Amino acid sequence: MSSWRRPFPVVFSFFFVLAVIVWYFSRQGNTLWVFLVDTGARHRQVWAFLSEPEAHTDWIIEAGTRCGEAPFEMPSGGFIGYLWDDSFRPGHRHTGLDIFSGREPGVAPVYAAADGYITRQPTWKSALIQRLPEDPLHPDQQIWLYYTHMADPQGNSFIVDDFPPGTREVFVKAGTLLGYQGNYSGDPANPVGVHLHFSIVRDQNGSYLNEQKIENTLDPSPYLGMVLNAHQSDGSVTRCNGEVTP
């Protein structure tokens, strides 16, 4: 009888430690949780769209579209291929949306999704960030909108001349032309598909946080009126919730 009981503390300790590990890595900002996200359907959809965009025009949401009562406009026309908190590889968590136009680099326009103040750091070839002093869903907070991949693989920018490197705090209205979708990845040997990456970034003490960390970004679903959280998606093509305002 005693020999049967002896392993119990060891087994209990093992499962207790395992439970703590699962709890810790399942919290927002950690990486184990992404293994519960199935991106297979979206991988197939993106491949199908990029291979034959003219066959999937019904997947496209036009630039400037406002879904229901959502506060933001669609910043660029295209198919929303990848969602917030998608995972492309173990440990990776996608911090925004990837909007694929199905067109050549430098053709599909990118517009401001809301009123706010545009900044372009001196070294940025393909990106802009926009400060919104009041989050429309939480007016006591400030947020930032990040737009990137607006350049060709060599880093030739598709951002319009109104926002040269070093631009700071230029006010624009929603719908203002910012640039054009590109396929810049930072590595000319490995360009990405032509798209806009768009994310909503948290503020800390008046500055934007590192957009590459998921915990520094917000779920864009309520801001654009669509299911844009990978954990909530059923794998179908993303559509507007409610009435569409062109």
Q: pLDDT tens-digit profile of 140-182?
A: 999 999 999 999 999 999 999 999 999 999 999 999 999 999 9
Predicted local distance difference test score (pLDDT) of residue 143: 98
Predicted local distance difference test score (pLDDT) of residue 34: 45
- Cα–Cα distance for residue pair 180/147, rounded to 1 Å: 10
- Cα–Cα distance for residue pair 221/137, rounded to 1 Å: 12
The DSSP output letter for 49 is: H
Architecture in CATH for domain 39-245: Distorted Sandwich (2.70)
If pLDDT is split at 50, 70 and 90, which confidence band does 4 have? Answer: very low
What six digits make up the tokens of 98?
A: 């990837």
Using the predicted structure, report yes or no on whether residue 23 has a pLDDT greater than 90: no
Look at the block and give the residue holding tokens 């990486």.
Answer: 31
- Residues 235-242 have a mean pLDDT of 87
- Residues 84-107 have a mean pLDDT of 91
Query: Contact 15/23 with Cβ under 8 angstroms?
Result: no
Q: Where are the alpha helices (DSSP H) in 1-154?
A: 2-5, 8-26, 40-51
pLDDT tens digits along 202-221: 999 999 999 999 999 999 99
